[in-house]
Chains A and B, each alone.
Chain A
Amino acid sequence: MAQLATAKEGGAVIKAASSSGRKPFRLSTLMSIVGTTPMIATAVGVFVICIIYSFVLSFTNSRIFPAFAAENFVGTDQYARLWSTGRWLISVNNIWFFGLLSIVANMTAGYLLAVFMDQRIKAEDWFRSIFLYPFAMSLVITGLVWRWILDPNYGIQATVRGWGFTEFAFAPLVNSSTAIYGLVVAGIWNGVGVTMAIMLAGLRGVDSEIWKAAKIDGIPAWRTYLFIVLPMMRGAILTAFILQCVGVVRVYDLIVAMTQGGPGISTQMPAVFVIQHITDRSNVGLGMAAATMMLLPVIVLLGVQAFAQWRANQVKEKA
């Protein structure tokens, strides 16, 4: 993107300096092509080719080494095994549960925080940094800190018991039916700041005339926020949402740091499954089948976003 912008500016400078219109135009086109080539090559090379490569691998019985000989192609065997593996099914259930809870909570809390920051409060910069800070931190550290907080032996439970409430029990991570809530809490703590920042930018982007008009009409501030401003910041919301979704699909470090997928296999996630199978378990074929399944919802999401953008452009063109 930056390269593109520079190329354009360069073209503009040449255009301004030169008297003839045709020659500099060619030069600027050339420069923008040169400038964007690395980006295009990276995008095609890294994303498209690698994805196709993984996709093809998922139809083979490759173990550590990619194997593409005719006898290595086993059709959809890996997918059949994947969908009959208890651990994968639990992983898929978990990701939906974790995703829905954490995205809804993140979006709501992020918006509320943004509204709070929008009240022209003192020390806004301070608050913004504090809320954004968890996002700047590695999920491994976040996970470890939350594991300690939720640990029955030296976390909240031990502290409250130390105050004299000896029957107090709060140790979500040691119980297989509640462990996932512990993960959700840590996920929210990590993700809410960045949602707030995007939403705040969206709020600030709303024309102040709208606010004046709403005030004249006597609409209370909360209604303006909810029914007028919120729909106007669709772009910011969509961006925050997509970011959250991608974060959920690839959640890995949080699990490794907090629960290792346990107790039992109750907090396993797809990304952990993929990484474990392409490394220690030496079953690249199965790992790639799982990775391909993880790609599907991402493609659907991106499709939705592209469609929304296309619709918005259509509306703009008509107007």
Chain B
Amino acid sequence: MKKFAVVAAMATALLGSTAVNAADVEVIHWWTSGGEQAAVSVFAREFDALGEDKWVDTAIAGGENARSATLQRTLGGDPPGAAQFNISRQFEELAEAGLLLDLTPLADSEGWRDFIRPAAILEVCEFEGKIYCVPVNIHSWQWAWASVPAFEKAGVPLPKNLDDFIAAAPKLQEAGIIPFAIGGEAWQIGGAMGVVMLSQLGKEGHEAIYKDRNLDVAGGPEVKHAIEIFKSLKGLTDEGSANRTWNDTTNLVIQDQAALQIMGDWARGEFAVAGEQPGVDYACIAGPAEQPYLDTGGDIFLFPKQDDAAVEAAQLKMASMMVNPQVQALFNNAKGSLPVRDDVDMSLADDCMKAGLEILKDPNHVIQGAGIYLTQDSIGQMDDLWAEAWSNPDLTVEEIQQRFVDIIASAE
């Protein structure tokens, strides 16, 4: 660790920061679950070890709440020292208004553009050629987590795609197993629907809708079939799904009470904590489709501009610390996510993680999430639509699809 501290100190010195005093840097984030806290404390520990500066932790439960707090405080002139956002357009107005610290000199001197991959996750940080944030990890949504004993009990093979799964569902139900586990929170429903969509659309269709706003594709048969699958999945859930958190839901799969959950790769951490073995106790199905695609979502940190030069120096130090290969390894192993650079020791990765890394190597199977192309406003509209479609069986497939087309048509 000492060696790293020296390297970081040199990096700071190279930046030519003058008269550096100790400073407190307040960090807003929404990492509050067990594994998440272990991960964020890696950052805090490493930052405090760098010198006199202190990491002041402001954890706010719920991504939406944490982001709102950062936005409102920054607008109100009392910005935090650093704040977490997703890899998306959630913070673009702050960058455009010049409220964020420009990290370009640091990024250039350390060569971020060379080692951060895929390049797209750094691109969301760029506005007019300047870099305003640090990507810290990569997460993908496109995973289904299956309980191997549950499928064995029902006497059906593990599904390879969602149509297989829906066909097998009656047998699972007969065996007293909840076929599809999901928590009724809007983001879980919206996320699962995104996965269902991508499994039908593929990369080409996905980009046609979200990037090119092609309304013919949005109104086409693939989206229609995705909505049909979505509605069938609703019928395969249990009564207690309303208000259930994602990790409680994962727990149903761990305990073999439920057969399958669609959830991002952060669910892997829950299986690991429960001592389950991939391939024996649970299976991770990428896609879930024969041709799986993964998105490269994840988290970034941005650093709102401060009046105090000492805080600014500390912010740059923190940014540099976050992409350090050693910190990346420690942090991502605790978080269960993939590091943002290749030259990181991932010997601890399990089979599911390795499968994910394998898919990510092929650029044709890597996509950008809808949040890269659409504003948070449009994403929110879609979340509302999926939540409504989920709870209101009277909405027909045609009505839902029409509303989806309208959202894409009006997206900025």
Spell out A's residues near B (CB within 8 Å): 63-65, 81, 84-87, 90, 152-153, 171, 173-176, 259-266, 276-277, 279-283, 286
Say yes or no: A264 contacts B387, CB within 8 Å.
yes
Inter-chain residue pair count (beta carbon < 8 A): 93
For the complex, what is the distance from the CA of A281 to the CA of B186, rounded to whole Å? 14
A263 CB → nearest B CB, Å: 4
A280's partner among B64, B239, B243, B391 (CB-CB below 8 A) is B64
Interface centre among A63, A84, A90 (most CB of B within 10 A): A63
B390's partner among A81, A87, A260, A264 (CB-CB below 8 A) is A264
Determine, out of B68-76, B258-266, B343-351, B359-367, the stretch whose residues face the partner at the interface. B68-76
Say yes or no: A173 contacts B243, CB within 8 Å.
yes
Interface centre among A260, A263, A266 (most CB of B within 10 A): A263
Say yes or no: A280 contacts B384, CB within 8 Å.
no
Say yes or no: B391 contacts A262, CB within 8 Å.
yes
Say yes or no: B185 contacts A276, CB within 8 Å.
no
Specify the chain A residue showing the minimal Cβ separation from B406. A84
For the complex, what is the distance from the CA of A85 to the CA of B410, rounded to whole Å? 12
Specify the chain A residue showing the minimal Cβ separation from B189. A264
Task: Check if B240 is an interface residue, CB within 8 A of chain A.
Answer: yes
For the complex, what is the distance from the CA of A283 to the CA of B411, rounded to whole Å? 12
Say yes or no: B380 contacts A266, CB within 8 Å.
no
B406 CB → nearest A CB, Å: 8
Chain B interface size, under 10 / 10 to 19 / 20 to 34 / 35 or more = 35 or more
Task: Check if B184 is an interface residue, CB within 8 A of chain A.
Answer: yes
CB within 8 Å for A65 and B380 given contacts A174-B243, A260-B243, A264-B184: no
Say yes or no: B391 contacts A266, CB within 8 Å.
yes
Say yes or no: B391 contacts A281, CB within 8 Å.
no
CB within 8 Å for A176 and B391 given contacts A86-B385, A86-B403, A87-B384: yes
Spell out B's residues near A (CB within 8 Å): 64, 67-68, 71-72, 75, 90, 93-94, 97, 184-186, 189, 239-243, 375-377, 380-381, 384-385, 387-392, 403, 406, 410
Between A and B, 16 residue pairs with Cβ closer than 8 Å are A63-B375, A64-B94, A65-B97, A174-B184, A174-B240, A261-B186, A262-B185, A262-B243, A264-B388, A277-B377, A280-B67, A280-B376, A280-B380, A282-B93, A282-B376, A282-B377
For the complex, what is the distance from the CA of A259 to the CA of B185, rounded to whole Å? 10
Say yes or no: B391 contacts A265, CB within 8 Å.
yes
Say yes or no: B68 contacts A174, CB within 8 Å.
no
A149 CB → nearest B CB, Å: 14
CB within 8 Å for A282 and B71 given contacts A64-B93, A176-B392: yes
A195 CB → nearest B CB, Å: 30
For the complex, what is the distance from the CA of A153 to the CA of B241, rounded to whole Å? 11
CB within 8 Å for A262 and B184 given contacts A65-B93, A86-B388, A282-B93: yes
Residues of chain A with a CB closer than 8 A to B391's CB: 176, 262-266
A86 CB → nearest B CB, Å: 6
By Cβ-Cβ distance, the 8 closest A-B pairs, closest first, are A264-B391, A279-B68, A174-B242, A176-B391, A263-B242, A64-B93, A283-B377, A281-B380
Residues of chain A with a CB closer than 8 A to B243's CB: 173-174, 259-260, 262-263
Say yes or no: B72 contacts A279, CB within 8 Å.
yes
Say yes or no: A265 contacts B375, CB within 8 Å.
no
Residues of chain B with a CB closer than 8 A to A174's CB: 184, 239-243
Residues of chain A with a CB closer than 8 A to B239's CB: 152, 171, 174
